[in-house]
């Protein structure tokens, strides 16, 4: 083991600031009884000055969130989890029950050959866990337990040598080779016996149409070998023999494709210079000019059924009989093999080797030739380095990463990212069901990771984690620290620190912005892990780095909807308009920024974190979920294109992407940040206005929010079930610049609410107390920092998008009917019966959160050609400075105005400045002032 650097020096158990959890580790293998209470939540670290409630404590009421959530709950309840488990079972060589793996990234045929498979299963476990915690519906717990049972079986199988999977054969019992198992049969070295004449015969039932999979491949390497492929590049069987590599192969090619899921008989004979290939007893190819035969190869090192000496897929399907004779069978003898076992045919059993594959257990196959050449079932990758290994693919990706210096996701695609999703899913399952198997699997995974990573020099780790894509590890640090709070294992906390990417951490701790060119979602979840490492170790640079990083993204690289990144990457600070594309705002980025905002708020109750939370949740996250049901797909976006006329894609990349995974999780935890409590119980934070009912068990009260927010401009909170003294802290959104009011039992509360703060109401609350919060929405624009003329329209917290199929930026003016408050809403016309829908110049604006397939414009081009007040045109062209700021921009920047006179004063002062600068004539200035004086305005 490489010596640990000082920063990785193992801290004593006392540094584990989380208390010992009050959950039972003695659950039976089947999990806890259905009637048992939900287990305690993950212990809150003492460093958290406010703490969250469990999902089960916050019930979602009817409204926007409930409607969206139900679509995902139904999907989670109905989807066949055996499809998710298929790739795990296949990897372990277990029976997959005929299940078909999901498409996209989660199957063997997906992007990069499915090198991320297993990640989606972790997401699904998290989604089911949250669904169960939120609803108490036993159906979700049952599905979790099914998955945990299967994963337990998978790990047990991976710990052992492969075992035969028997199936119905052509004549009796066959040996099944599940696609994705990486299993093959190894025959002893003397099997060919140096014979010059030979016949090789096999019954096979292919289950996949991959080219170049081998029925057999006898050889030393890619130079000296003899093989029979079930399919060549043209999809037909091919036999070849060579002593000088592929270019010198002497071969026989079939004429037709072997059918899938049906038994076919293949036979090859060589005698003298003649080689013959038979398919189902019929000669399909003959070569009379062969100069090579098995004796030309000598004694070979590898004699394989199902495995290739090249980088070809392992044969997927079943073998019944495999026989080798030291002579060329006649055509009649080949025919006799079609309807009989070899022993009962005219040919008899193979004289060199004869395998019936009648075994139903174990990992060896008996040879009936009389030569005693027992065959052995093996894995191409050997076996796990540690018994805790659990994955849906071999450990080879993890091994390759340790020496890899360049990224190639067709070979290594973020293996520790995939491990994180599985680990997180197991932890969530444990929290939801108290099933000890989940904790055991999770702990084993971390034991295995520690056994690998702790042996690597720090320089190797730094190289690995800095490698784009291949070195991505998601939020694994957060999950490992959470696990360590349950297990108390020092190795687990030490493992979490092995993922430190020092270059990034040190730069962010010094508030040096180095994000330009980085992959966004590879790095955002690193910082949720750093916050948890601070909780566990007290090392200040972790928390400082996370806070500074957040400030580098929000708002400097943030789109109006709360998302970030373009084609998954960041550009320079302050570049927003310049990153708008069809691949803007990867949905995973918003999911992880929400997590980070939430965790930072636990340490520092800066309202900016919850202002961001509202923005991203009510816009990108809600808008990323399509508003329709689907049994097969969760219908969640990957990217949200922000180009003009973009149509959201809710089935990206054929499904099962990272964003569909996080999208499933988001839709089952909408309520996780509505309320927080001060660590000492003295205050309740109301962060979001959402129809929910909080059960605050420690206080013996409930708090019920009744609202249709954001379709309603406010919320009503009712205390129930008891009495308790605490301070109610109500978030005043940063955009709520006027009119925020609070009443208790109808009486106004003293104090002046300030936008971007919390408004506190302190009293001993009694059952039946009613708090009414009024939050007037104001319609406003947000300008992109690098192109102020490109703007997004907001009504309160809601981004309003124009619905239009136009593919160039729409142009709108909004000042013509602006209210004295600066509210731009009077310039728009409400659509009757459609809350939050408006029209402007014949174009409909709708909330971004509506998950439709309408073409939308999240940004528009601001155009105010004339100076207009209260609908009255002054006849004066609206002049602009060299930076694009117009006269009207400067006038309305002074809003809100308490009176019309205050607005006119602002107009007079502004035009005077522009006249002095030579940007406006005195005559035009007077027209502007006169128009402002004569116009009428909404308040």
Domain-embedded: residue 205: yes
Q: Is the dihedral angle over the CA atoms 11, 12, 14, 20 positive or is it negative?
A: positive
Report if residue 858 sits inside a domain: no
Q: Looking at the structure, tell me whether residues 279 and 135 fall in a common domain.
A: no
**Of 119, 102, 128, 73, residue with least CA distance to 655:** 102
Q: Give the per-residue pLDDT at 103.
A: 86
- Beta strands at 683-686 and 353-355: parallel, antiparallel or unpaired: unpaired
Q: Does the structure show a pLDDT above 90 at 580?
A: yes
In a domain, 900, yes or no: yes
Q: Which domain-ending residue is among 347, 379, 411?
A: 379
User: Residue 109 has what pLDDT?
Assistant: 86
Interval 618-636 mean pLDDT:
97
Sheet hosting strand 683-686, strand order edge to edge: 50-52, 675-678, 683-686, 724-732, 757-765
In contact, 704 and 718? CB cutoff 8 Å: yes
Q: What is the pLDDT of residues 126-174, one digit of tens each?
A: 999 999 999 999 999 999 999 999 999 999 999 999 999 999 999 999 9
Number of other CB atoms surrounding residue 274 within 10 Å: 14
Buried b (16+ CB within 10 A) or exposed e, 862-901: bebeebbbbebebebebbeeeeeebbbbbbbeebbbeebe
Two tokens at 753?
């609410």
Can you tell me the mean pLDDT for 281-294?
A: 98
Q: Do 192 and 297 touch, CB atoms closer than 8 A?
A: yes
User: What's the token pair of residue 402?
Assistant: 């340790």
Separation of alpha carbons 101 and 88, rounded Å:
10
- Both 193 and 93 in a single domain? no
Average pLDDT score over the chain: 94
In a domain, 357, yes or no: yes
pLDDT the model gives residue 42:
81
Nearest to 560 by CA among 794, 901, 887: 794
The pLDDT tens digits for 450-469 are: 999 999 999 999 999 999 99
Number of domains present in the structure of the chain: 4
Tell me the three-class secondary structure of 853-891, residue by residue.
CCCEECCEEECCCEEEECCEEEEEECCECCCCCEHHHHH
Span 807-845, pLDDT tens digits: 999 999 999 999 999 999 999 999 999 999 999 999 999
**pLDDT for the residue 25:** 32
Tell me the per-residue pLDDT of 790-800, one tens digit each, with 9 for 90 and over.
Answer: 999 999 999 99
| Percent helix, percent strand, percent coil in the chain, to nearest 5 | 30, 20, 45
Dihedral (C-alpha) 374, 375, 378, 380: value to the nearest 10 degrees?
130
Any residues with CB less than 8 A from the CB of 508 and at least 6 apart, and which? Answer: 514, 527, 544, 545, 546, 548, 549, 552
Q: Which of 379, 404, 426 is the endpoint of a domain?
A: 379
What burial class does residue 462 get, using C-beta atoms within 10 Å of its C-beta: 0-12 exposed, 13-18 middle, 19+ buried? middle
Burial code (b: 16+ CB inside 10 Å, e: under 16) for 192-203 equals bbebebbbbbbb
* Residue 32 located in a structural domain: no
* Residues contacting residue 889 through CB under 8 Å, at least 6 positions apart: none
Q: How far is CA 909 from CA 470, 621, 889, 898, 902, in A?
A: 59, 43, 14, 17, 11
Three-state DSSP at 340 gives coil
Say how far residue 474 (Cα) sits from the centre of its chain.
9
HSE-up of residue 810 (Cα within 13 Å, Cβ side): 27
User: Taking residues 312-337, what's their average pLDDT?
Assistant: 97
One domain, residues 405 and 352: no
Per the structure, the complete domain to which residue 903 belongs is given by: 872-939
DSSP 258-309: PPTTS-EEEEEEEETTEEEEEETTEEEEEES-----HHHH-S-SEEEES--S
Where residue 34 falls among pLDDT bands split at 50, 70, 90? very low
- CATH number of 435's domain: 1.50.10
Q: Are residues 480 and 508 in the same domain?
A: yes
Q: Is residue 459 packed enough to be buried (19+ CB in 10 Å), middle (13-18) or exposed (0-12)? A: exposed
Q: Output the pLDDT for position 41.
A: 66
Q: Does residue 563 lie within any of the structural domains? A: yes
- In this structure, the answer to whether residues 547 and 644 fall within a common structural domain is yes
DSSP class per residue in 370-439: SS---EEEEETT---SSTT---SS-THHHHHHTT--S--TTT---HHHHHHHHHHHHHHHHHHH--HHHH
Whether 249 and 353 map to the same domain: the answer is yes
Q: Report the relative pairing of strands 724-732 and 683-686 from DSSP bridges.
A: parallel
Residues 583 and 484 in one domain: yes
Q: What is the pLDDT of residues 198-228, one digit of tens each?
A: 999 999 999 999 999 999 999 999 999 999 9
Q: Domain for residue 313, yes or no?
A: yes
Q: Quick one: tokens of 108?
A: 């063997």
For residues 767-792, give the mean pLDDT.
Answer: 97
pLDDT given at position 31:
39
One domain, residues 285 and 405: no
Answer yes or no: do 417 and 552 share one domain: yes
Same domain, 557 and 682: no
Residue given tokens 């925020």 in the structure block: 740
Give the mean model confidence (pLDDT) for residues 481-508. 97
| Mean pLDDT of the region 646-670 | 96
Residue 491 has a CB neighbour count (10 Å cut-off) of 16
- Verify that 267 and 328 share a domain, yes or no: yes
Are the C-beta atoms of 432 and 130 separated by less than 8 Å? Answer: yes
CA distance 584 to 586: 6
Chain segment 601-616, per-residue pLDDT in tens: 999 999 999 999 999 9
In a domain, 31, yes or no: no
369 and 400 part of one domain: no
Confidence class of residue 17 from pLDDT cuts 50, 70 and 90? very low
CATH code, domain with 371? 2.60.120.200
What is the rounded distance in angstroms from the CA atom of residue 931 to the CA atom of residue 871?
10
Q: Output the pLDDT for position 37.
A: 42
| CA nearest neighbour of 236 among 277, 180, 291, 294 | 277
Q: Which of 774, 793, 819 is the last residue of a domain?
A: 774
Task: Report helix, strand or coil for 35.
Answer: coil
Q: What percent of the chain has pLDDT over 90?
A: 94
Indicate the DSSP class of residue 237: -
**Separation between Cα atoms, residue 398 and residue 404, nearest integer Å:** 10
The token pair that represents 532 in the structure block:
């948890």
Question: CA 654 to CA 646: how far, in whole Å?
Answer: 19
């Amino acid at each position: 083991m490489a010596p640990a650097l000082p920063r990785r020096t193992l801290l004593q158990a006392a540094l584990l600031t989380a208390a010992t959890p009050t959950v039972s580790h003695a659950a039976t293998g089947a999990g806890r009884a259905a009637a048992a209470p939900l287990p305690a939540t993950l212990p809150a670290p003492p460093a958290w000055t406010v703490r969250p409630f469990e999902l089960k404590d916050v019930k979602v009421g009817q409204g926007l969130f409930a409607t969206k959530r139900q679509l995902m709950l139904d999907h989670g309840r109905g989807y066949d989890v055996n499809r998710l488990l298929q790739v795990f079972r296949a990897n372990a060589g277990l029976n997959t029950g005929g299940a078909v793996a999901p498409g996209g990234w989660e199957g063997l045929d997906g992007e990069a050959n499915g090198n991320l498979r297993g990640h989606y299963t972790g997401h699904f476990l998290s989604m089911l866990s949250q669904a169960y915690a939120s609803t108490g519906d036993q159906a979700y717990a049952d599905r979790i337990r099914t998955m945990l049972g299967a994963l337990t079986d998978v790990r047990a199988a991976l710990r052992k040598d492969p075992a035969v999977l028997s199936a119905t054969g052509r004549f009796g019992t066959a040996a099944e080779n599940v696609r994705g198992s990486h299993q093959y049969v190894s025959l002893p070295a003397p099997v060919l016996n140096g014979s010059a004449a030979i016949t090789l015969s096999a019954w096979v039932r292919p289950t996949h149409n991959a080219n170049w999979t081998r029925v057999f491949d006898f050889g030393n390497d890619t130079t000296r070998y003899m093989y029979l492929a079930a399919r060549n590049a043209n999809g037909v069987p091919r036999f070849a023999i060579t002593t000088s590599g592929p270019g010198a192969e002497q071969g026989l090619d079939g004429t037709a494709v072997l059918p899938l899921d049906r038994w076919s008989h293949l036979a090859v004979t060589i005698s003298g210079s003649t080689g013959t290939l038979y398919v189902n007893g019929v000669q399909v190819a003959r070569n009379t000019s062969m100069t090579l035969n098995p004796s030309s190869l000598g004694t070979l090192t590898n004699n394989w059924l199902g495995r290739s000496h090249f980088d070809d897929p392992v044969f997927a399907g079943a073998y019944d009989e495999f026989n080798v004779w030291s002579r060329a069978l006649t055509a009649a003898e080949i025919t006799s093999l079609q309807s009989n076992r070899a022993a009962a045919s005219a040919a008899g059993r193979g004289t060199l080797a004869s395998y019936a594959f009648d075994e139903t257990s174990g990992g060896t196959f008996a040879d009936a030739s009389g030569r005693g050449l027992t065959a052995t079932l093996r894995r191409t990758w050997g076996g796990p380095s540690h018994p805790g290994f659990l994955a849906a693919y071999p450990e080879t990706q993890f091994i390759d990463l340790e020496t890899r210096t360049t990224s190639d996701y067709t070979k290594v695609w973020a293996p520790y990212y995939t491990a994180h999703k599985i680990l997180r899913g197991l932890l969530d399952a444990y929290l939801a069901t108290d099933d000890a198997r989940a904790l055991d699997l999770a702990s084993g995974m971390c034991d295995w990771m520690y056994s690998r990573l702790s042996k690597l020099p720090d320089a190797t780790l730094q190289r690995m984690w800095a490698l784009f894509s291949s070195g991505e590890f998601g939020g694994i640090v957060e999950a490992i620290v959470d696990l360590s709070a349950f297990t108390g294992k020092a190795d687990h906390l030490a493992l979490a620190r092995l993922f430190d990417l020092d270059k990034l951490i040190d730069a962010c701790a010094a508030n040096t912005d180095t994000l330009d060119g980085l992959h966004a979602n590879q790095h955002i979840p690193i910082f949720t892990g750093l916050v948890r490492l601070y909780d566990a170790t007290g090392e200040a640079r972790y928390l400082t780095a996370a806070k500074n990083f957040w400030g580098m993204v929000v708002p400097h690289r943030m789109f109006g909807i709360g998302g970030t990144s373009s084609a998954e990457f960041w550009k320079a600070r302050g570049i927003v308009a310049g990153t708008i594309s069809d691949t803007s705002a990867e949905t995973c980025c918003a999911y992880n920024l929400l997590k980070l905002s939430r965790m930072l708020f636990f340490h520092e109750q800066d309202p900016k974190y919850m202002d961001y939370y509202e923005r991203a949740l009510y816009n990108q996250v809600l808008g990323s979920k399509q508003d329709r049901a689907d049994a097969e797909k969760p219908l969640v976006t990957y990217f949200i294109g922000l180009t003009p006329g973009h149509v959201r894609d809710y089935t990206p990349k054929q499904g099962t992407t990272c964003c569909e995974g996080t999208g499933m999780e988001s839709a089952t935890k909408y309520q996780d940040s509505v309320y927080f409590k001060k660590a000492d119980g003295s205050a309740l934070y109301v962060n979001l206005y959402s129809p929910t009912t909080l059960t605050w068990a420690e206080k013996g009260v409930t708090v019920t929010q009744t609202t249709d927010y954001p379709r309603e401009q406010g919320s009503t909170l009712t205390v129930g079930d008891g009495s308790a003294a605490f301070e109610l802290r109500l978030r005043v959104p940063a955009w709520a610049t006027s009119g925020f009011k609070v009443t208790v039992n109808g009486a106004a509360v003293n104090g002046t609410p300030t936008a971007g703060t919390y408004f506190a109401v302190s009293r001993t609350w009694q059952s039946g107390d009613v708090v009414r919060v009024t939050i007037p929405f104001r319609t406003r624009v947000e300008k992109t920092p690098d192109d102020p003329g490109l703007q997004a329209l907001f009504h309160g917290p809601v981004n309003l998008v124009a619905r239009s199929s136009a593919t160039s930026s729409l142009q709108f003016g909004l000042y013509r009917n602006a209210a004295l408050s600066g509210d731009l809403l009077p310039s728009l016309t409400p659509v009757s019966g459609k809350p939050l829908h408006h029209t402007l110049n014949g174009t409909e604006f709708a909330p971004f959160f509506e998950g439709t397939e309408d073409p939308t414009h999240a940004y528009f081009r601001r155009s105010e050609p004339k100076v207009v007040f209260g609908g009255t045109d002054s006849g004066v062209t609206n002049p602009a400075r060299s930076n694009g700021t117009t006269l009207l921009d400067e006038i309305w920047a002074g809003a809100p105005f308490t009176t019309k006179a205050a607005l006119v004063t602002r107009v007079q002062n502004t035009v005077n400045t522009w006249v002095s600068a030579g940007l406006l004539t005195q005559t035009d200035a007077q027209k502007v002032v006169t128009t402002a004086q004569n116009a009428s305005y909404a308040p």
